[in-house]
Structure 1
Amino acid sequence: MTAVINATGLEHLEDAEVYQRLQAAERAIGQDLLRDPVTLARGLDGSFRMRPHLRVISEALVGLERGDYDRLMVFTPSQVGKSTTVAEWFPFWWLCLHPEDRVAVTSYSDDLAMRRGKAIRRYIAEHGGEYDLALLAGSSAAQDYDTTKGGGVRSVSIGSGLTGFPVNLLVVDDPHKDRSEAESARLREQVHDWWSSAALKRLQPDRNAVVAIQTRWHPDDFSGRRLEDEGRLEDGGRWAVVHLPAIANPSKFGPDPLGRQDGEPLPHPKIPTRQRKQLLAWWADVKKTSSVRDWHAMAQGDPQPSEGALVSRDLLRLIRDGSTKVEPQKIAVAIDPSGGGRDTAGVVSGFLGDDKRVWITHDRSAPMSSAEWSKTACLLAYETNAAIIYVEWNFGRDMAVLALETSWETLQREGAIPESHLMPLIDPVRAKQGKLLRAEPVAQQMVQDRVRLRGAFADLENEWATWQPTDPDSPGRIDASCILVYGLIPEANRGAIVHAPLPTAPQPTAGRQTPSSAGLYGRRISK
């Protein structure tokens, strides 16, 4: 044990009594370390770096041992201490409390499982004596060993090695090797069959618990199937889930276990928690150097399907075009305001070119309040010299228009937009069809090469390439880009949206102009 005991005030005692007191103090400290797995790890391993997300994971593991639930999943990015905590320190902590229990650690390969088993064995050899936990004499195999109290550890790959081994605690550490295995229906079924035919049959009735950690490669991977079949605890199902994405997104994933708001970074063991800028820079670099699907799978715990979407990634790559010379004929900003239970506002801009194509040029979508998205849209309209702002008013109705007018007036008063710069026409639109019927025609415009991207837009492309027709809701970027295309290519509309009636008389609003302020091609004329 690495803890230091203060011997001050013991000078007057005999050596034997001092020794007894020090031993008692050491035992008390040792028992105190058993409060939870990360407290134990921190007390016994000076190199273990505590971070807030590891405390959250540790508390969930305590709930598993306590019996609050018997199934737990933990999703985090790689290299943030998850595996060391869950697959090494947690089994050792469990055996300190229950030395008679049998623990199985499984993974996609024998090598990885054996590495976990060796770490647990080392902890038992080095620290187990403090907790009356010892290896049985002659139990020397690295992947299969017993304790003197009847417990033991077996570390094997998924699909083998649990026959005849009763299990009280099962740790599933990365059941899928990589994306290619997770996307193979045959290999996924092998994992699902192992769970049903082998893993569950080894669990014991007196005490059993399962914890799974993995990269979420596929919607139907190990965790995806378990959640589909058995459900989440908060929904009346069986599995407790700790989901800690690299960048928090409670508007999509629900309340964040760390209480983070949208856009807040996850701590990292090698970056001080208070260094928010450094954390954001680290995760931004990870995102920049990852494919969109890898970022969502490995960093966000949000698997993206590779098939079934309205638009393929190949098509989206083909319609990227940052070099073709084209003259804008009408420039617009389109907004899908946050609302209706979703906090992400879609804000995109683009133009209708002299080639009769819609070119998407900017994507400023983000989790924003009405004050934030309206300011963002106004600044984007000024930046791009937009003639018109299309805004969906299904949720906010006239409030959306008022928010834009107020923001424009505020930005002019603050000097962010010159007072001489005329406000674009605001054109409220109302959706008359569902998400699919609105998105399908725009997807077809992409197929027909009537929509192009002025460069690469990773988040917008990912939403188009992963949104499924069966999804009840669509992301803000899809809705905003649909509004933009419908506004600039009216014939693509097919009745999906309707425009609010234009005013027939001058409106006493914050600098808003009537359509007569637009030039021949819809471009504004400034003073």
Structure 2
Amino acid sequence: MAVVRPVRGDRVRVYDLQVQGTSNFFAGQVLVHNCLIVDDPHKDRADAESEASRRALHDWYSSTALKRLQPDRNAVVGIQTRWHPDDFAGRRLAEEGRLEEGGRWKVVHLPAVADAKFGADPLGRAPGDPLPHPKIPTRDRKALKAWWADMKRTSIVRDWHSLAQGDPQPAEGALVSEELLRLLRDSATKVEPQKIAVAVDPSGGGRDVAGVVGGFLGDDKRVWITHDVSAVMSSADWSTAACRLAYEANAAIIYVEANYGRDMCSLAIRTSWETLQRDGEIPENVLMPAIDLVTAKQGKLLRAEPVAQQMVQDRVRLRGLFVDLEREWSTWMSTDPDSPGRIDASCILTYGLIPEANKGAIVHAPLPQAPVSGGRGPSQVAGAYGRRIGK
């Protein structure tokens, strides 16, 4: 008889099984009185890619979870999607090792498609053989292979390796490295804005993240990203967010991608500005920023690589820490079917403020250089191209 008692029940489902008497538990005829089960310790990729979240999980496991175990005949079972090389399972294997290597963990790895690089398959499958599916007859190998092939075709590369193959891939191959992005964070250098702008990528349509990013062109000829209010929004929401940000940042212009829905985007922004003035959020004597349509290169990769080059050349800096924006840049790869809204919006902002970036050459394997900080005297926000003028 087993009694299941929850140990922690918010994000991570953890159970402490107290078994009355001895019984055979788990593979290898292990006699246990006490078992800790950790089920899905990472809720999704974003959670697993957060260094702070991973650190908190590892600390919790060491300080709280393991203290639930009895001193003799105990076991820990981890069940999870392998989202990150340093996720719960990755850290345990790195620190404690596999059983066959003299370590502590017995690993049962069932990839969707058997691969020789994982060693002997637990089900005895040959390389290339698919994993069974409860809705597809096991003997119908053709249908099973077609199912997994379709999943692979409709998943980005990292999701296929994580969700289907249990083989998390680092964000190598991304246009911009995490190291470079850390070097581009700069909240100390004094710089005078010459042109303040907000950029919008409205492609979300209420289903995906609509990119809304703010920044300015400094007197040092760099683009400085200062705001990121991107979110899953409808057209009314993203246009309102763009107008609010433009008023807050004192922007002179709102850049909108011209490739798709240019007239609709312009109308949505004008309508939102008028609504915010009517509601009293924006004073009536404040002129609406100009709306400029930016035509970026059509392909997502061709659009993003020149901006990545500007980052490598230290022509784009981040005025602080932007976790979501940095995560998108450091994990998006050219093989992904779509680029995130924050990346697109930051590209539109860069193209608007330094149009020559739209003609940039392709760059690979960026080698980050530390930004050089230097004082320039007090910053005069808005400068000659500021917008805050009355009617």
TM-score of the superposed pair, with normalisation by structure 2: 0.61
In structure 2, the residue matched to 1:200 is 123
CA distance in 2, matches of 1:318, 1:335: 25
2:385 counterpart SS class: coil
**Shift of residue 338, structure 1, vs aligned partner:** 3.6
Are the equivalent residues in 2 in contact too, given 1:310–1:443 (CA < 8 A)? yes
2:257 to 377, 380, 392: 392
| Cα distance, 1:237 vs structure 2 | 3.5
Q: Distance in 2 between matches of 1:341 and 1:375?
A: 13
| Structure-2 change in CA distance of 1:180 and 1:476 (3 Å) | farther
* Preserved contact between residue 195 and residue 216 of structure 2 (Cα < 8 Å): yes
- Structure with more relative contact order (C-alpha pairs < 8 Å, separation 6 or more): 2
Rounded Cα–Cα distance in structure 2 between residues aligned with 1:358 and 1:48: 51
Query: Does the Cα contact within 8 Å between 1:422 and 1:526 map onto a contact in 2?
Result: yes
**Equivalent residues of 1:339, 1:395 under 8 A apart:** no
Aligned to 1:312: 177
CA RMSD of superposed structures (Å): 4.9
Larger fraction in strand: 2
Q: What amino acid is aligned across from residue 407 of structure 1 in structure 2?
A: S
Query: After superposition, what is the alpha-carbon deviation per residue over 1:396-435, rounded to whole angstroms, capped at 9, x for unaligned?
Result: 3311111111110000000110001100001123333201
Deviation at residue 209 of structure 1 after TM alignment = 9.1
- CA apart distance, 1:120: 6.3
Relative distance call for 1:177 and 1:439 in structure 2 (3 A) is closer
Distance 2:333 2:281 in 1: 40
Q: 2:198 aligns with which of 333, 349, 353?
A: 333
Residue correspondence of structure 1 range 21-420 to structure 2 within 5 A:
44-45=3-4, 47-48=5-6, 80-81=12-13, 83-84=14-15, 104=26, 117-119=32-34, 142=73, 176-178=89-91, 181=94, 197=120, 199-201=122-124, 236-237=147-148, 305-339=170-204, 342-420=207-285
Structure 1 residue 462, shift from structure 2 partner: 1.0
Matched residue type, 1:314: E
Deviation at 1:302, TM superposition (A): 12
**Inter-partner Cα distance in structure 1 for 2:335 and 2:149:** 25
Matched, 1:523 2:386: yes
Q: Give the helix-richer structure, 1 or 2.
A: 1
Deviation by residue 1:476-524 (Cα, 9 ceiling, x = unmatched)? 111000000000001111199xxxxxxxxxxxxxxxxxxxxxx984322
Query: How many residue pairs align between the two structures?
Result: 290
* 3-state SS of paired residue (1:349): strand
Residue identity in the other structure for 1:440: E
Structure 1 residues 302 and 387: alpha-carbon distance in aligned structure 2, compared to 1, 3 A threshold: farther
Cα 1:193–1:156 shift into 2, 3 Å: farther
Q: Which whole-Å CA distance do the structure 2 matches of 1:239 and 1:450 have between them?
A: 41
Q: 2:322 aligns with which of 432, 453, 457?
A: 457
Give yes or no for contact 1:381–1:424 (8 Å, CA) kept in 2. yes
2:290 paired residue number: 425
> Unaligned stretches of 5+ in structure 1?
2-40, 54-76, 93-98, 107-112, 122-140, 144-154, 159-170, 203-207, 211-229, 241-251, 254-296, 497-518
* Distance change in 2, residues 1:239/1:476 (3 Å): closer
Question: Helix, strand or coil: the match of 1:428?
Answer: strand
Whether contact under 8 Å (1:105, 1:172) holds in the other structure is no
- Map Cα deviations across residues 184-226 of structure 1 (whole Å, 9 max, x no partner): 9xx9x99666965252139xxxxx999xxxxxxxxxxxxxxxx
Contact residue 343 and residue 369 of structure 1 kept, 8 A: no
TM-aligned CA deviation for residue 307 of structure 1: 1.4
Distance in 1 (CA, whole Å) between partners of 2:25 and 2:353 is: 62
Deviation for aligned residue 1:382: 0.1
Q: Return the alpha-carbon distance in structure 1 between the equivalents of residues 261 and 167 of structure 2.
A: 30
CA distance 1:469–1:190, shift in 2 (3 Å): farther
SS at match of 2:295: strand
Question: 1:468 matched to which residue of 2?
Answer: 333
Distance verdict in 2 for CA 1:353–1:172, change over 3 Å: closer
For 1:347, what is the secondary structure of its paired residue?
A: strand
The percent of aligned pairs where both chains have the same amino acid is 58
Alignment partners' CA distance in 1, 2:210 and 2:167: 20
